[in-house]
Chain A
Amino acid sequence: MWKWLHPYANPEVSYHFTNKLLPWLSALTAIFLSIGLVWALLFAPADYQQGHSFRIFYIHVPAASLSMGIYVAMAIAAFISLVWQLKLADASAAAMAPVGAAFTAIALITGAAWGKPMWGTWWIWDARLTSELILLFLYLGVIALHNAFEDKNLAGKAAGILTLVGVVNIPIIKYSVEWWNTLHQGSTVSKLGKPSMSLDMLWPFIFCFIGFALLVAVIICLRFRNEILARNSIRPWVRELIQKNTVNNT
Chain B
Amino acid sequence: MPILSIIIWLTILGGVLVLFVGDQRCRPVALAVSVLAFLFSLPLFFGFDRSTAALQFVEHVAWLPSFSINYSLGVDGISAPLILLTTFINIIVVISAWEVIKDRPAMYLASFQIMTGFMVGVFAAADAILFYVFFEATLLPMFLIIGIWGGPRRVYATIKFFLYTFLGSVFMLVALIYLYSEAGSFDIQTFHKLPLGANAQTLIFFAFLIAFAVKIPMWPVHTWLPDAHVEAPTAGSAVLAAIMLKMGGYGFLRFSLPIVPDASLQLAWLMILLSLIAVVYIGFVALAQSDMKKLIAYSSISHMGFVTLGMFIMFGIMANTQGSADISHAVLGLEGAMVQMISHGFISAAMFLCVGVVYDRMHSRMISDYGGVVNTMPVFAAFMVFFAMANAGLPGTSGFVGEFMVIIASFKANFWFAFLAATTLILGAAYTLWMIKRVIFGEVANDNVAALTDVNGREKLMLAMLAIMVLFFGLWPQPMVDLMHSSISNLVAHATVSKL
Q: Do A and B come from one complex?
A: no
